[in-house]
Structure 1
Amino acid sequence: MHLPSLLPASLAFLLTATACSQAQNEHAGAPSQTAPGPGKKGKGGDHHKDKAAAALIPGLRQVGSLKGVVPESSGLCPAEQPGTYFSFGDEGNAATLYRLGATGQLLGTLPLGTANTDWESLSRDDQGNYFVGDCGNNANDRQNLVVHRFRPDQPRQVQDIKFKYPDQTEFPPEKKKDHNFDCEASLWHDGKVWLFSKDRGRDATSKVYTVPDQPGTYTAQLVARLAIPGQVTDAALRPDGHRLVLLGRGELFVLDGNSWDEILKAPPRQVSLEGAGQTEGTVFKDATTLLISTEQGSFYEFKLPF
């Protein structure tokens, strides 16, 4: 997920930007997914109903199943070998990565030398390091947020990137509208881990933060605010660095640009995946195709419509 360094001049602008770009709905009249009611994450769902509904979504096809393979898949990332991928379970599951083939078949497991408080994202750099975002924060009250750094050939040797948000002073915030400190999506780029918040305050805003990719204790830097009318569950950057996909529950958002700062200022284009289930993980299979996983166990291939 490496992209050449293109940020310095534009980053200063983004740090002070307050305006959000406007999302464009690629399916006119297609309803956005709403968050489930009170509870952990709205888990469950009917796998068979999801499969039937997904067959009606243009470009989406089920290529496999993760049921009995990955418990509550919450993210996807390329593994070391081309054509293979890592996934993992979120809160309450083992601190283990599951190595998958392109149709969801299990190729192996990789236990890490750390705990899984609430793993929600996984990315890698251009040197073979991986970063697990243990920053799921459903109640917006965590003060032990961390990104775990490791190499697959030394999975027991885990380094911690601990962080806090610069704009959070209450745990949880008193006002519901301020509950925007959950993070289920991250990626590595240009020496930093980029974090995309999942807005539980219903403000239609995903805040973008960065932390260094080196172990230590940091205050994250708030870089941008994206107008995302949904709750972001994963992020994937196309290998050429010109397209960012933010996955939501039953939808995704596509941002394009010739540079990283252009991407973060681009109007997100919204694509409905309504009926596909609780979509939680995505990764580029190739330049025009995504793999998508759900907590219910569906494993999809999706051809982007543009």
Structure 2
Amino acid sequence: MRNYLSLLLVFLLLACQQNSDSLTILYSLPHKLKEVSGITYSAQTNLIWTLEDSGNSNTIYGLNSNGTIAKAITIENTENIDWEDITQDKEGNLYIGDFGNNDNARKDLCIYKIDKNALSSNSAVPAIKISFAYPEQLDFPPKKKDLFYDVEGFFEFKNNFYLFTKNRSKGFDGTAILYKIPNASGFHQAIFMGEFKTCEDYNFCAITSASISPDESKIVILNHDKIWLLENFEGDNFFNGTKTELALNHFSQKEAVCFGDNDKLFIADERNKTEGGNMYNVSLKKLKSKS
């Protein structure tokens, strides 16, 4: 009954999509991009780089401030098995996370580095490939109660990647795991960094994206109707600081978040038959004032 009521509430929210007093729609995403799964903002070019997930092209797209595709780059020698997020480092190099793993059965998880100097071309070959595995995962797939090895959100911080897992386990309890992987070519065993509890309803609590602010003082973790803000941490002990849940007052299939500056967030959702397919803008200060 509990699961039925949760699903009913989701359908009601989708059917009666409310106007949020927090989110501002910047533009509708190009119709070509139906399954945006990650975004990252480049202040140098004023472009939002984005990609789509499994079943779509091995291409990254640069969107200008009007939401028009200003640049499309084919990433050669790769396959879009399940590209779930995109991020960048301090120098402006981009990284594609090919680590979507819905069934927790993949053994070919990786991250591709796209050199910043290749972003003016129409095609690019990854500068390096970072492959990895989770040492805690012994079975492919594990039992249904142990499906902890899907990822849809990551960022680069001090020459390491930090991946937040999307819990797909039977008996979902909101547990997400943080893993650390070095930003270096070759194969690596992911390092377990800790666990993070969201909430206990999968439809409202599963993690879909993550980002770190330009000044590296704040982290946001996205869900369909909220974000979790992590602050006041030391080093990469992200869970030892302050955690604040901030409601977006808006439900849709939000799949991507990134910082525009140290306060402003960009958020993108997938398009379905009735709603979505937008790029939004939201202020953390505004969200915190309403919490």
- Which of the five TM-score ranges fits, normalised by the shorter chain? 0.7 to 0.9
CA contact (8 A) 1:242 1:256 kept: yes
The answer to whether 1:285 aligns with 2:249 is no
Sort the Cα spacing of 1:122 and 1:51 in 2 relative to 1 into closer, same or farther, 3 A.
farther
Q: Secondary structure at the match of 1:167?
A: coil
> For 2:46 and 2:18, how far apart are their aligned partners in 1?
23
> For 2:85 and 2:21, how far apart are their aligned partners in 1?
27
Q: Secondary structure at the match of 2:238?
A: helix
Alignment of 1:243-282 (within 5 A): 243-273=218-248, 275-282=250-257
Give the count of matched residue pairs. 263
CA contact (8 A) 1:99 1:107 kept: yes
> For 2:153 and 2:53, how far apart are their aligned partners in 1?
12
Aligned to 1:217: 187
Shift of 1:153: 3.0
> For 1:94 and 1:258, how far apart are their aligned partners in 2?
38
Alignment of 1:60-75 (within 5 A): 60-75=23-38
CA contact (8 A) 1:50 1:275 kept: no
The answer to whether 1:164 aligns with 2:144 is no
Sort the Cα spacing of 1:109 and 1:184 in 2 relative to 1 into closer, same or farther, 3 A.
same
> For 1:103 and 1:227, how far apart are their aligned partners in 2?
37
Shift of 1:262: 4.9
> For 1:254 and 1:244, how far apart are their aligned partners in 2?
6
Unaligned runs of 5+ in 2: 1-5, 200-204, 272-276
Aligned to 2:111: 147
Alignment of 1:170-249 (within 5 A): 170-174=139-143, 176-201=144-169, 202-229=172-199, 230-249=205-224
The answer to whether 1:119 aligns with 2:87 is no
> For 1:170 and 1:303, how far apart are their aligned partners in 2?
42
> For 1:298 and 1:50, how far apart are their aligned partners in 2?
15
Shift of 1:239: 1.1
CA contact (8 A) 2:234 2:241 kept: no
CA contact (8 A) 2:154 2:164 kept: yes
Sort the Cα spacing of 1:162 and 1:262 in 2 relative to 1 into closer, same or farther, 3 A.
closer
Please tell me the residue identity of whatever aligns with 1:210. K
Aligned to 1:301: 281
> For 1:52 and 1:303, how far apart are their aligned partners in 2?
24
Q: Which one is further off, 131-140 or 151-160?
A: 151-160
Aligned-pair RMSD on alpha carbons? 2.6
Please tell me the residue identity of whatever aligns with 1:223. M
Shift of 1:261: 3.5
Sort the Cα spacing of 1:156 and 1:84 in 2 relative to 1 into closer, same or farther, 3 A.
closer
Q: Which one is further off, 183-192 or 252-261?
A: 252-261
> For 2:90 and 2:103, how far apart are their aligned partners in 1?
34
With the length of structure 2 as denominator, give the TM-score of the two structures: 0.83
CA contact (8 A) 2:22 2:248 kept: no
